């Protein structure tokens, strides 16, 4: 199954549009580290710079100061779970059609890709990539004959199914879209006289932009000379915002879906403390993932909070192979426990999720060897039992430990004295709204099902 | 004034000596990010690899697996405050003399460099670098005529004054030395049948080595075939271990000078809470520096602990110039406050030190703009008023804010509602031993004074 | 006007197809140094590696040994005269269409691009690049509905006008095509049981392949399991092979259009000696361009041949700006005359072409300053007066010195005692066949005229 | 045996001294491609930039425009035959001694290194490298006590034996020295009001400097404020200029030892034609090595000259491993014969030397396979039978084919119809002076013998 994480940023009417987009993407870097791209409109045509790697690696001063001219820009960062990382799949994706210049940046995953593609091929469309974005562009082009841009985009967006937050640049128009379910976030803001759009508000903070509101499910915002107008291109479906953005994926200083991430994570920890209290010496996270829920757990339970696992801040992605016999090296090099804090202690560890459990098992074993008396784990979300079709990468169902094993067995596998997951009700309570979230990875209730062809399509896609 | 931070690692009698040293340096990377080097003894001669940059950049598999043969190795990482970073100044420093192969790795700063150098030049020594290490090597060579290696090294070490933790490799001997004051740390450990030496014990943890003890002030440890023996080459002076290693410089999971760093920092925070309590909504650190003292402050004061400043984990050393008008960008890009945690709140910030105060001022201003009601700062060490001659880089006295300004004025400059520093007595109490630490940067009581020529020498040095 | 130089290589049925293609492109590197690419068919899908730079820079062992699996491959190298060099324009160009995987490598320039593109857009085609290759692919896809691959390709090739030597890979078929005029070369060879195709036979020499014959104008060769078959997809037009391949562009050890390049160049020099003899001390080339015609001139005239201009073999593409006042540096750094061979001498210089004349003027001035008594230049082709629409890059007509100036004036501008160009008749005689060559750049007789829209199209293209 | 090739360049009194030195080294690049370095005197201290690789790789604009300030500079390029290439061995070599700043650049090889080093170590000198240059510096420092700089340098140069052309920079003085035998070249020139020094005059040509004369054997030229003065620091020994500079090593557009290289090579070819005529269709070189002697042979013999071996100008140092079964690939990829020029032809090949003969054997085999009727080789120097102790790298004696085999056997091994070497008398005649050259590699008559210790020293050296 092909999955992508992505971050989007767009700006309209700023003389340093490319530079602002660069910093917007910089703030969103946690949403994708594989490729980055910026497209600007210079008044006559689109200009682009895309590349593999981090934002800081892909762009140089000459790109921002010289090449990417124009006061409108959209940017994209991407992480793909498919084996090969290809520059041709870096976004924004650009085409020309009948003198128009069009670019798209897409966050999310469509579920009717295969049907769409077959249909388009039957009328002569030729595909150069396996990206959903290319399908969207072909659809828009198809509907552009005799339609306004807005109508063509609306028609195209009504045909595709699944998760899509989009930024489109069509000549000098900047268009922002969220799918009718509202799976992926997209926020609108303002800096000076310019409008900005971003996956998360932490990008606004860096640019000293003011957060206005979310783009709404089924809404299309068109920014052009003369201002901004909103078109409800489709009825909002039952709201299905991705709970995992709040649990794990978004930055804790962001607002997504109009919810404060930091506060939501503390609530998850607090509710977890009520659902599964434990007598222990202290609470700690494995940094950075559980840091905010752990604070919530500590405050609700009254147990002291400790930072007793120390990060090596210089661990990069690669290092040389360790000496034979150095066990569990990759785990240990990143986090080292403070020995004196472990020996003889009863410890509660708050984590934000367990996917396969193998790294956690290694860390727990290491704590045991240092003499921990009791180790209890509290997880700030329910067990993940089902794959996500909308753009979050859990390994395939076979690898999700909670899909196949009872909690008791997981605790045993990891070597814990006790293990508790936040309940689905607890999560709903923490999320702040009782309805409106997609919890399919926990409960299997998919808001929109993938098309029949999807399985086959995905096989084809992943072979890239 | 020339200053260097450094980290040392050595190992004797391990078939993967270079690889172990690589990982030892990896764990010590926080002690110096400018250059790294490893020297091994292959049974006939020394082999070296040195380079500019992080450990992960300098070494490749071919170095560890092929080039750096031998079962004895010493390694060095370095950060220099002098303007230019030169590969020729990367250590370990190697020479040949009468068929002997010698290398030295040095942590600390000598204070009689200039006298030593003049004296050596008057008898014909030629200098290629401005490093203290070259002086040490010339001295050892001078005394080697007719002496044993141990005697020559001892004589040399009795002539030099100041801070020196040394690892020497002379043919197949590995020699570890601390100066008579014990300024800089150096720890002895064991892994399997091999002895290891490191500036901090976090290097032992990564290698699953067992910590044995500190090398003592005035002690020389000689590791060679047949084992380890200790020589007290000089009377220990009044113990003057660097307090700043515990306050700030060492990793919190390390033991230095036989003290647990994590526990000491928590004690600093706790004593600070007693010395300067405040009514507030919560305590938070500016990560990562104040994270451990803040936990101590929180636990002692009963105020909740929060992680309300969020790090961007993708901030590298360089980024492209921000848009004009983006104020305080460099500070904001690294840490972003969680807005909802700031508005209307009374906040205690625990920091481990204030040097110039400008970055902190920026952060505080930003918190004010977000609506913080009160901002109190508690610093987990006394005001730094005096320069360090032994190897910790405070900017020259003119730039130490506490050297020239009253605490009240500093608070005003930064924009704080209140500011308290840990008292010298409080620090002594937290350090766990009432005597035995160099506190010269706080109280000006220098254990050993720099020689007359030092000022001149330093001018010469810094022109490199 | 957009111009491209290119080189093509293809191989069918070789277990190291990618590696053979790598070396084939390596031998053709003089045909394009800007980008390189290889596509292989692994039995299920196409695999590609493309990049900017020389063949040696673009490919690494992992590409050849691992990634580019399969026993069929096509490769492409390219030099474009458009300002920007874009990775997206690197070939081979790949698409998928209805489950088929297709790639094309193209050498030459179409003259009806604009009409084709407009027509295709009107039926819904979307373009991502400005390359002729994308148009060819859209045409093939259009005709694939209900046709065999061979028929679709033939139909597409009958619609496009201009210069095109093509290598197509459609699933497991390798198809080689030359346009009906035969503008650009394409040769067929054999190595072991594999067929190979290359722009020039020097690629065959390196691979120890045997040259069989040229692909004929209007011919399509299909290589697939079971062997090779030839289809005459269009009537050959009046043969219009590019004379400039023999004069300048092809390597002297190649055979193109069934002619030996080395022998042809010597004949040009020899005929030039008969057309424009001169009393002089010796003949020399400016290496390497005139080296072969100069030998012909020397042998026919009886004047000694000298290598009196010395190349600096270490001159790369970039060097640091010279000191102010170092005149004509870029010219001098590449070639330095042997002073003693110049002073007081009457010299004949044989060159293969004069485009703008400025570098030659610099060299001649330098020879004068060293005391040359007489300097005569003989050019081994007629004056270039007209632009090429088929893929050779002369600067636009305004910059072609011979388009705007009499030979006498050119001689004066350069500072020559005499200047003679080979006559058109002399060139025809040297080419070995009196008809069958495109001499449009000399005589303006274009075999196929560019479409009306071409000028506009080109403007659009060059803005990339 | 340690061998080095090197090139030297120096300039005094030029405001762009570093930039001029950069281009001087650029012109001398053929003398060493392994490392490059420039040292300038900025009025107070020396500044340096050294690195591994070509001149164009080591220096950037910032070095020349900013870092390497000053109007005096010396530069060095180096190729070493020892296995490892170490940055620490890159020159110029710098030291400080009693407030003086000294740098040296050295071309040649000393023969009493070991004795000198032992003697210096016995009085306390410490060595960091294995370079002769470090010994020279220690000697100068030793004699500086109570002497003028000129006297100290003179004394040092009278103690060392062997080949040394030196450029020294001692504070603001630039000193140029040749050994009493005059082994290696060093030329003096002038550009504007500045003096320049270079290994070969081709560096002067590029800088538009005027050649004045050679530095004489045993001469020391001191350039300082107020001008140039010459000191004959030692009696010239029997002149022993290296014949191989003229035969092979120097660029053909240079003057070395006051002889024109191009003319000398043509004379070698002409005398060879008289000594060993042959009935053949034509003469050709294997470019570029034999190109100038081949012209001489052609003109004297009346046989036509051909350029029938074509160089691939894009062959870099590395390429990917060829397909198994591609024989002699490394040889073929560099030079490809023009097939039609080979078949049925009687060919004379003029080469400038045969060292091991294996590449030549490969080329000859290839010509045979293409149908060459007869292949005769003429070598423009006598058989190389003895190693060089003065800085030219022939492989050790065991690998010199002519040291161990009769000419008849070499011809057979290579596959030639005939083989003739230039006679020693013929060479002397071609060199233009009957005496004054070192011909030790041909006749074993060494002008100065290596010291006893040299063998041992060399073992030690080569182990780096």
Of B240, B274, B294, the last residue of a domain is B240
> CB distance B95–D141 less than 8 Å?
no
Contact between chains at C252 and D310 (C-beta distance less than 8 A): yes
The tokens for B342 are: 């700031």
CA-to-CA distance for B199 and B31, rounded, in angstroms?
Answer: 9
Which chain C residues have a beta carbon less than 8 Å from that of A137?
A: 126
Q: What is the pTM of this model?
A: 0.83
Strand partners, D438: D242
Alpha helices in B302-374 (DSSP H): 329-334, 339-342, 358-369
| pLDDT above 50: residue D462 | no
Q: Which of C390, C460, C452, C389 is nearest to C127 (CA)?
A: C460
Residues in a beta bridge with A337: A309
Q: What is the mean pLDDT of chain C?
A: 89
Using an 8 Å CB-CB cutoff, list chain A residues near B202. 310, 336
Q: Are D329 and C329 in contact (CB under 8 A)?
A: no
Q: Whose structure tokens read 């005697």?
A: B151
- List, in sequence order, every residue forming a beta bridge with A97; answer none if it has no partner: A100
Residues of B designated catalytic: 6
Give the count of beta carbons closer than 10 Å to the beta carbon of residue A56: 19
Please check whether residues B168 and B223 belong to one and the same domain.
yes
- In terms of DSSP H, where are the helices of C211-281? 243-244, 261-275
Dihedral of the alpha carbons of A11, A17, A22, A25, in degrees to the nearest 10: 0
Q: Which residues are CB-contacts of D218 (< 8 A; sequence separation ≥ 6)?
A: D178, D179, D180, D182, D232, D233, D234, D235, D236, D237
Task: Give a three-class secondary structure readout of chain A.
Answer: CCCEEEEEEEEECCCCHHHHHHHHHHHCHHHCCCEEEEEEECCCCEEEEEEECCHHHHCCHHHHHHHCCCCEEEEEEEEECCCCCCHHHCCCEEEEECCEEEEEEEECCECCHHHHHHHHHHCCCCECCCCHHHHHHHHHHHHHCCCCHHHHHHHHHHHCCECCEEEEEECCEEEEEECCCCCCCCEEEEECCEEEEECCCHHHHHHCCEEEEECCCCEEEEEECCEEEEEECCCCCCCCEEHHHHHHHCCCCCEECCEEHHHHHHHHHHHHHHHCCCCCCEEEECCCCCHHHHHHHHHHHCCCECCCEEECCCCCCCCCCCCCCCCCHHHHHHEEECHHHHCCCEEEEEECCCCCCHHHHHHHHHHHHCCCCEEEEEECCCCCCCCCCCCCCCCCHHHCHHHHCCHHHHHHHHCCCEEEECCHHHHHHHHCCCCCEECHHHHCCCCCCCCCCHHHHHHHHHCC
Neighbours of B433 (CB within 10 A): 13
pLDDT (average), residues A66-79: 93
CA atoms lying within 13 Å on the CB side of residue B164? 29
> Do residues D202 and D282 share a domain?
no
Give the burial class of B459: count Cβ atoms within 10 A of its Cβ; 0-12 exposed, 13-18 middle, 19 or more buried: exposed
Residues C73 and C139 in one domain: yes
Q: Are residues B236 and B269 in the same domain?
A: no
Q: What is the mean pLDDT of residues D142-154?
A: 92
CB contact under 8 A, A54 and B314: yes
Residues D50 and D188 in one domain: yes
Chain D neighbours, 3+ Cβ pairs < 8 A? B, C
Residues C352 and C205 in one domain: no
Asked if residue C307 and residue C219 are part of one domain, the reply reads no
C-alpha distances out from residue B66 to A36, B16, B47, B63, Å: 37, 11, 11, 6
Q: Read off the pLDDT of residues A304-349 as tens digits, 9 standing for 90 and up.
A: 999 999 988 887 655 677 777 777 787 888 899 999 999 999 999 9
Predicted pLDDT at A461: 39
D380 within domain boundaries? yes
pLDDT tens across A36-58, in order?
999 999 999 999 999 888 898 89
* Contact C/B (≥3 CB pairs under 8 Å): no
3-state secondary structure of B390: coil
Under 8 Å between Cβ of A74 and A39: yes
Contacts of D145 in chain B (CB under 8 A): 124
Map D372-414 to HEC letters.
Answer: CCEEEEEECCCCCCCCCCCCCCCCCHHHCHHHHCCHHHHHHHH
- Of C192, C86, C179, nearest in space to C391 by CA: C179
Which CATH number characterizes residue D181's domain?
3.60.20.10
Q: In D11-102, where does DSSP find H-type helix?
A: 17-27, 55-58, 61-62
pLDDT per residue as tens digits for the range C408-427: 999 999 999 999 999 999 99
- Please give the backbone phi and psi of residue B9, each rounded to the nearest 5 degrees, phi first: -150, 140
| Chain A residues with beta carbon closer than 8 angstroms to that of B332 | 205-206
B121 shares contact with chain D (CB less than 8 Å): yes
Q: Which of B23, B205, B295 sits opposite A322 (nearest CB)?
A: B23
Contact list in C for residue D60 (CB cut-off 8 A) is 320
Report the distance separating Cα A335 and Cα A291, nearest Å.
Answer: 14
pLDDT for residue D84: 46
Q: For chain D, what percent of residues have pLDDT higher than 70?
A: 92
Cis peptide before A19 (omega within 30 of 0): no
A135 to chain C: nearest residue by CA?
C126
> What is the DSSP code (8-state) at residue C215?
P
Distance from C-alpha of C38 to C-alpha of C55, rounded to nearest angstrom = 10
In a domain? residue B234: yes
Which pLDDT value is given to residue D453?
43
Residues B285 and B67 sit within 8 Å (Cβ to Cβ)? no
Do C343 and C427 belong together in one domain?
A: yes
DSSP class of residue D323?
P
Same domain, C225 and C287: no
| B373: number of Cβ within 10 Å | 14
Residue C229: exposure state from Cβ atoms within 10 A (0-12, 13-18, ≥19): exposed
Q: Is residue B451 part of a domain?
A: no
Q: Do B312 and A22 touch (CB under 8 A)?
A: no
Residue D296 falls inside a structural domain: yes
Query: Do A186 and A293 sit in the same domain of this protein?
Result: no
Smallest Cα distance from A60 to chain B, Å = 7
Closest to C137 in 3D by CA, of A463, A124, A457, A133: A124
> Omega of the bond prior to D288 within 30 degrees of 0, cis?
yes
How long a stretch of residues is chain D? 464
Binding residue per annotation — C242?
Answer: yes
Q: Assess if residue C255 is contained within a domain.
A: no
Residue C52 lies in a domain: yes
Q: Are residues B206 and A263, on separate chains, in Cβ contact within 8 Å? A: no
Q: Is C381 annotated as a binding residue?
A: no
Q: Which helix (H) or strand (E) holds C206?
A: helix C202-206
**Residue C83 confidence (pLDDT):** 39
Chains with at least 3 CB pairs less than 8 angstroms from chain A: B, C
Whether residue D464 is contained in a domain is answered as no
- The bridge status of strand B194-198 relative to strand B210-214 is unpaired
- pLDDT beneath 50, residues of chain B: 1-2, 82-84, 453-464
| pLDDT at A457 > cutoff 90 | no
How high is the mean pLDDT of chain A? 89
Q: How far apart are CA C446 and CA B111, in angstroms?
A: 84
Q: Could you read off the pLDDT of D260-301 as tens digits, one per residue?
A: 999 999 999 999 999 999 999 999 999 888 999 999 999 999
What is the rounded CA–CA span in Å between residue C19 and residue D268? 43
- Give the number of other Cβ atoms within 10 Å of residue D127's Cβ: 18
Find residue A79's DSSP bridge partners: A5
- How far, in Å, CA of A110 to CA of A449, rounded? 10
Specify the pLDDT at position C458. Answer: 39
Of D207, D324, D341, the CB nearest to C262: D341
Asked whether the beta carbons of residue C124 and residue A137 sit closer than 8 angstroms, the reply is: no
How far, CA to CA in Å, does A67 sit from each of A17, A41, A63, B320, C131? 12, 11, 5, 14, 21
Output the domain CATH number for residue B353.
Answer: 3.40.50.2020
Does residue B228 sit in the same domain as residue B334?
Answer: no
Are residues C189 and C90 both part of a single domain? yes
What does the pLDDT average to over D4-17?
Answer: 92
Domains: count for chain C: 2
Residue B301 inside a domain? The answer is yes
Nearest beta carbon to residue B124 from set D127, D128, D142: D142
Q: What is the pLDDT of residue C459?
A: 35
Test A262 with B61 for CB contact under 8 angstroms. Answer: no
| Lowest-confidence segment of B134-143, C318-327, C438-447 by average pLDDT | C318-327
* C365 has a pLDDT exceeding 50: yes
Strand pairing category for C282-285 and C346-351: parallel
What residue has token string 């870092």? D67
Q: How far is B37 from chain D (nearest CA, A)?
A: 14
Q: Which of C95, C96, C124 sits opposite A124 (nearest CB)?
A: C124
* Residue D455 pLDDT: 38
What is the complex's ipTM, to 2 decimals? Answer: 0.91
| Residue-range definition of the domain harbouring residue D166 | 7-240
Which of A280-284, C259-263, D217-221, D452-456 has the least mean pLDDT? D452-456
Please report which confidence band the pLDDT of residue C392 belongs to, taking 50, 70 and 90 as the band edges.
confident
**pLDDT given for residue C454 in this prediction:** 43
């Amino acid at each position: 199954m092909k999955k992508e994480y992505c971050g989007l940023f767009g700006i309209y009417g700023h003389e340093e549009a490319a530079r602002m987009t660069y910093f917007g993407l910089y703030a969103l870097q946690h949403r994708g580290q594989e490729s980055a791209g910026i497209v600007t409109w210079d008044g006559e045509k689109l200009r682009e710079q895309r590349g593999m790697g981090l934002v800081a690696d892909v762009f140089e001063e000459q790109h921002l100061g010289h090449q990417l001219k124009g006061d409108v820009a959209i940017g994209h960062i991407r992480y793909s779970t498919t084996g090969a990382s290809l520059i041709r799949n870096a976004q924004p994706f650009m085409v020309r059609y009948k003198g128009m210049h069009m670019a798209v940046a897409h966050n999310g995953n469509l579920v009717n890709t295969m049907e769409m593609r077959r249909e388009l091929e039957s009328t002569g469309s030729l595909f150069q990539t396996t990206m959903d974005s290319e399908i969207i562009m072909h659809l828009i082009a198809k509907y552009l004959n005799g339609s306004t841009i807005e109508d063509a985009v609306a028609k195209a967006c009504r045909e595709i199914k699944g998760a899509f937050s989009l930024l489109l640049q069509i000549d000098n128009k900047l268009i922002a879209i969220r799918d009718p379910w509202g799976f992926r976030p997209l926020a609108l803001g303002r800096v000076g006289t310019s409008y900005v759009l971003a996956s998360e508000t932490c990008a606004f903070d860096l640019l000293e932009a003011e957060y206005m509101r979310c783009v709404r499910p089924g809404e299309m915002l068109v920014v052009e000379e003369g201002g901004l107008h909103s078109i409800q291109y489709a009825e909002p479906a039952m709201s299905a915002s991705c709970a995992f953005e709040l649990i794990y994926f978004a930055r804790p200083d962001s607002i997504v879906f109009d919810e404060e991430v930091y506060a939501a994570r503390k609530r998850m920890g607090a509710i977890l403390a009520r659902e599964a209290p434990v007598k222990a010496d202290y609470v700690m996270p494995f940094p950075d993932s559980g840091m905010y829920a752990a604070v919530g757990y500590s405050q609700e339970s009254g147990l002291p909070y400790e930072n007793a696992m120390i990060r090596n801040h210089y661990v990069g992605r690669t290092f040389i192979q360790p000496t034979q016999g150095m066990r569990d090296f990759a785990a240990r090099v990143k986090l080292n426990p403070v020995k004196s804090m472990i020996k003889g202690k009863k410890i509660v560890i708050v984590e934000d999720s367990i996917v396969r459990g193998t790294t956690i098992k290694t860390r727990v074993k290491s704590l045991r060897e240092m003499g921990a008396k009791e180790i209890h784990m509290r997880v700030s979300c329910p067990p993940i039992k089902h794959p996500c079709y909308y753009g979050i990468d859990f390994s395939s169902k076979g690898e999700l430990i909670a899909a196949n094993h009872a909690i008791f067995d997981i605790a045993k596998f990891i070597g814990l004295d006790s293990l508790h997951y936040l309940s689905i009700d607890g999560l709903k309570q923490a999320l702040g709204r009782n309805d409106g979230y997609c919890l399919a990875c926990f409960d299997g209730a998919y808001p929109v099902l993938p098309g029949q062809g999807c399985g086959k399509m995905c096989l084809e896609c992943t072979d890239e």
